[in-house]
């Protein structure tokens, strides 16, 4: 700008005006540096909108490439399915380890809330809640990176809503358990836990399944799921494989964790089944 002011002073022009024609008529060698500065200024001023537009186009191409990299992509609070926006998914940081997630339709209405629940067993688990009716499901995965695929692969959102059949199928097929009413048990007969079935008075009242084994403090633990006679998962239990003294039971209808005393010589599975039956979960 000093060069421009000096030139204007010589030619009796105001500082905000530039006589480009006369300026460039001066000897090139004498004004080489001045010409260079002015050319750069004019080029930047006139062509910056085109440069900015090109950069935006490049960004758009990069974004399209990113959302097309996999069938399901989570980018900038949006879940994409086959490169098309599927739903909105906002990370909500509530601790230093596992964030919660608010899942919304493309209109911004929250349909699902996924919460990390430290009460769900020893290690914690993700609980998915459907906002429409408040039903919840404990998820098998503990990795937040799996959540976008879980939502898309189960096609939980259709026309900006969660259809009833999609919710029901998800709860029954993806490690979930539905909130339900407790049953009334008037029998005092012994409860028998066999390889799969749970019976009382020679009648089937539920079932159980071993879903995981793991080591903690160099000791082997079993994790089991428990189902009512209709097949709905009602509880999850964890206990020491050999000589268990306690069992940790999470019941899904009330999201309650209870520590049961097993005692010497007793079966952890029988203690768990008896507790579930007597308290109306089976």
Domain residue limits, the chain: 1-45, 72-173, 191-278
Question: Is a pLDDT exceeding 80 seen at residue 245?
Answer: yes
Question: Is a pLDDT exceeding 80 seen at residue 163?
Answer: yes
pLDDT for the residue 186: 61
pLDDT for the residue 184: 58
Residue with more model confidence, 77 or 135: 77
Stretch 182-191: mean pLDDT: 70
Residue with more model confidence, 22 or 68: 68
On whether the CB atoms of residues 268 and 247 are closer than 8 A, the answer is: yes
Residue 103 belongs to what H/E stretch? strand 100-104
pLDDT for the residue 61: 77
- pLDDT, tens digit, 9 for 90 and up, residues 112-131: 999 988 765 556 788 898 99
* Confidence band for 109, pLDDT divided at 50, 70 and 90: very high
What is the reported pTM?
0.46
């Amino acid at each position: 700008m000093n060069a421009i002011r000096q030139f204007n002073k010589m030619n009796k022009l105001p500082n905000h005006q530039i006589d480009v024609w006369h300026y460039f008529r001066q000897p090139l060698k004498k004004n080489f540096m001045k010409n260079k500065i002015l050319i750069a200024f004019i080029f930047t001023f006139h062509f910056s909108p085109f440069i900015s537009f090109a950069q935006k186009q490049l960004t758009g191409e990069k974004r399209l490439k990113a959302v097309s990299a996999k069938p399901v992509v989570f980018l900038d609070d949006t879940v994409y399915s086959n490169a098309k926006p599927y739903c909105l998914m906002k990370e909500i940081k509530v601790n230093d380890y596992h964030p919660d997630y608010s899942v919304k339709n493309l209109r911004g209405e929250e349909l699902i809330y996924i919460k990390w629940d430290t009460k769900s067993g020893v290690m914690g688990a993700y609980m998915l809640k459907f906002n429409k009716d408040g039903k919840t499901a404990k998820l098998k995965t503990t990795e937040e990176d799996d959540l976008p695929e879980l939502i898309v692969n189960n096609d939980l959102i259709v026309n900006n809503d969660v259809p009833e059949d999609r919710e029901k199928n998800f709860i029954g097929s993806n490690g979930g358990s539905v909130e339900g009413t407790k049953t009334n048990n008037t029998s005092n007969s012994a409860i028998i836990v066999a390889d799969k079935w749970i019976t009382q008075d020679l009648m089937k009242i539920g079932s159980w399944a071993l879903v995981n084994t793991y080591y903690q403090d160099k000791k082997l633990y079993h994790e089991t799921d428990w189902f009512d006679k209709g097949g709905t998962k009602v509880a999850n239990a964890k206990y020491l494989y050999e000589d268990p003294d306690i069992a940790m039971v999470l019941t899904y209808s009330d999201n309650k964790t209870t520590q049961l005393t097993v005692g010497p010589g007793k079966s952890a599975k029988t203690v768990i089944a008896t507790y579930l039956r007597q308290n109306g979960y089976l």
